Amino acid sequence: MTEKKKILVLSDHPLSPSGVGTQTKYMIEALLKTGRYKFVCLGGAIKHHNYQPQSVDPYGHDWLVYPIDGYGTDEMIRSVLQKEKPDVLWFMTDPRFYGWLWEIENEVRPNVPMVYYHVWDNFPPPHYNGKFYRSTDEILCISKVTHQIVQAVSPEVSSTYLPHAVNNNVFKQFKDKETLDKIHDLRKNLTVTQSLLKNPNKKVFFWNNRNARRKQSGTLIWWFVEWLRKVGEDKACLLMHTDARDPHGQDLPHIIEEMDANRGQVFLSTTKVDPAELALMYNAADFTINISDAEGFGLATLESLSCGTPIIVNMTGGLQEQVTNGTDWFGWGIEPSSKSVIGSLQVPYIYEDRINQDQFESVLTKALNISPKAYKKMSIKGKEHVRENYNFETLEKKWVEIMDEIIEKHGSWETRKGYKRWHLLEVA
């Protein structure tokens, strides 16, 4: 029997609810199904109760997770490489988290190919990332914008467009009576039972995101409440599924209280739920909102479309590809009115796209007054858009094809092509 190829993964913890974590899980499961791969993951970006290696059921030793803080260190990678001897190093998310990894690529790449699943959401292209791109064997790009950026900065590097996908067996529009009754009860709780502003016909807007500054969680509450005061406070409500308080975001309960928005205008859902329960929330909503200043992809809006719920988004990053196919619209895309530049000592600049309050309120009013016929068209076309362009089965097949091609092209731990092996010293 042929020995299974081992892939070392650096990413958000693959069992975490983040978009990065979810897509990491999808990729791993697709390759595990072949029976030809196994995985060691450094599961970062979440708080851990303990740091003991964990096997993931039902895969046993074929899927091992090492809980870590952040995204790892050079010492950790040296040690794990020496111990596990993987065939491929696969890593994902913002490149600023992996500067230390590219700095030791002369130690890593002679032994294993480095494969980066890249997210970058805005022009002008970050030319300072060129040295990172050129230190990678293969770059897979989360959106068309990201792919264009990599090609502009480092056209000599092998890169492929490979977007996220959703499992439409989970994220779907429900039609069975039992589930429809659950959805009806959820809407009733939001519009009547839990609200002092009772109106069973009010529009329900949904926001499912991390409570982070770039996601504009606090701004969303502010703008939404001010809009309600103009159109009628009983006309709509906002359900936010997120952490109520986050050091990287805002104190949302405090904002809601200060704005006198706890009478049924804004609700918080803070309990972690499984994907099936999340799908109920999308089905219960009329629209899903994402007005983030920067968004590599935005998985929540794709999940929403798959459930038949139109979206309202900032036209930035991968969100642009979801809300329209160039002909049909599956909600509303708001063109940014300005750009801001942020940066750090590690990242000289990132441009953020920003919409303004008037634009946002105008779109909310359109959503409030949309005709049933126009809404149904958005819903149907959105589901078709997901099936055609973000098909889950296609994504699974593509991941297997790509990983097979990478190992064939670049070799692996025992068969590395084009590099002289260096001896790695384990760091305790």
| Preceding peptide of 124 cis, ω within 30° | yes
Indicate the length of the chain as a whole number.
Answer: 428
3-class SS of residue 334: strand
Range in 7-21, 28-42, 147-161, 202-216 the model is least confident about: 7-21
* pTM greater than the 0.85 cutoff: yes
The pLDDT score that the predictor gives to residue 428 is 47
CATH homologous superfamily, domain 5-165+391-410: Glycogen Phosphorylase B; (3.40.50.2000)
The pLDDT score that the predictor gives to residue 52 is 78
Q: How far apart are CA 379 and CA 353, in angstroms?
A: 26
Fold classification of 177-389 (topology level)? Rossmann fold (3.40.50)
Nearest CA among 220, 209, 273, 275 for reference residue 243? 209
Determine contact, residues 292/298, Cβ cutoff 8 Å.
yes
pLDDT tens-digit readout, 21-43: 888 888 899 999 999 999 998 87
pLDDT grade for 1, boundaries at 50, 70 and 90 = low
**Residues in CB range of 408: below 8 A, 6 or more apart:** none
For residue 138, the one-letter residue type is E
Is pLDDT at 91 greater than 80 in this prediction? yes
Mean pLDDT of the region 359-364: 98
The pLDDT score that the predictor gives to residue 125 is 87
The mean of the pLDDT values for the chain is 90
Q: How far apart are CA 410 and CA 428, in angstroms?
A: 29
Name the segment(s) of the chain with CATH classification 3.40.50.2000.
Answer: 5-165+391-410, 177-389
Stretch (H or E) spanning 90: strand 88-93
Stretch (H or E) spanning 24: helix 19-32
Nearest CA among 87, 69, 23, 68 for reference residue 395? 23
What are the angstrom distances between the C-alpha of 173 and each of 3, 69, 244, 303, 310?
Answer: 42, 37, 28, 11, 12
